[in-house]
A = this chain, B = another copy of it.
Amino acid sequence: MALSFRQSEILGIARVEGRVEVEELARRFGVTLQTIRRDLTELADTGKLDRVHGGAMLRAGVANIGYEERRLMNADAKAAIARTCAAAIPENSSLFLNIGTTTEAVARALLDHRNLTVVTNNMNVANILVANESCDVIVAGGVLRRSDGGLVGDLTTDAIGHFKVDYAIIGTSALDADGDLLDFDSQEVRVSRAILRQSRQSYLVADASKLGRSAPVRIASLCDIDAVFTNAALPDDLTRRCSDWGTEIRLPRSR
């Protein structure tokens, strides 16, 4: 079955937004709710989307509830950060993307970039970037973690050692007052460190909610990072330190 104009457009919207609503789509296309429902049912039947009450979502693949909540938290901020970061990535370049909902937002923002080579240990990132035909996706293998679709373990670290890319784009669980990047899982931290080691430029993407939080394992310091993409100014002393370290701070252009 070939998809209609409208259906493939719905799919496109879902890829970008992560979700679509019946009402909104009906308004947008100027058709009845029933027609949209039929479209969504068909897309769900062929496995392209997951149907939910009131709309549909990208195929869940890996997501569970806690993950969904995290993904929707600060969704706008994350999308804005992702756009800014994607704008800093030239076409024809290679990059790492690690685990995290913000890096997934970056993957979505990269759907229009051409000729990228992306190495990732995040199943969701791979699932998103499959849609970008001109992009080579390399999955660093490992043990699949249900909670967030991350691949971790020795296998992952080993695989990453095989590459050297232009940009590392990493997320973090927490960014404390000293400018240290922190995470909860030491396995994941080993992967993140390997990623930083194997890349020429390193970018941190983190929304403001990560700021001032804490977590037990240290990934790196902001002084090891070339630029941090976030959505609100950092505290004054951290800003000062960043300028000493030569770490650029990039905020989304206000709108």
The secondary structure that dominates the A interface is mixed
A3 to B3, CA, bound (A): 25
- Copies of this chain, complex-wide, total 2
CB distance from A188 to the nearest CB of B (A): 15
- A57-B5, A127-B62 given as contacts; is B151 within 8 A of A143 (CB)? no
Closest to A126 in B: B144
Q: A136 at interface (Cβ–Cβ under 8 A)?
A: yes
List the B side residues contacting A35 at CB < 8 Å: none
A5-54, CB < 8 A from B = 5, 8, 19, 46, 50-54
Q: Could you give, for residues 138-150 of chain A, a 1 whenever the CB lies within 8 Å of some chain B CB and a 0 otherwise?
A: 1111111010010
- Of B52, B68, B140, which is within 8 A of A5 by CB? B52
List the B side residues contacting A156 at CB < 8 Å: 141
- A46-B68, A126-B123, A146-B130 given as contacts; is B159 within 8 A of A139 (CB)? no
| Cross-chain pairs A/B with CB under 8 angstroms, 28 sampled | A2-B51, A4-B53, A5-B57, A8-B60, A46-B68, A59-B127, A61-B127, A61-B130, A123-B126, A123-B127, A126-B144, A127-B127, A130-B144, A130-B146, A130-B149, A133-B146, A137-B143, A137-B144, A138-B144, A139-B139, A139-B141, A139-B151, A140-B141, A141-B141, A141-B155, A141-B159, A155-B159, A158-B158
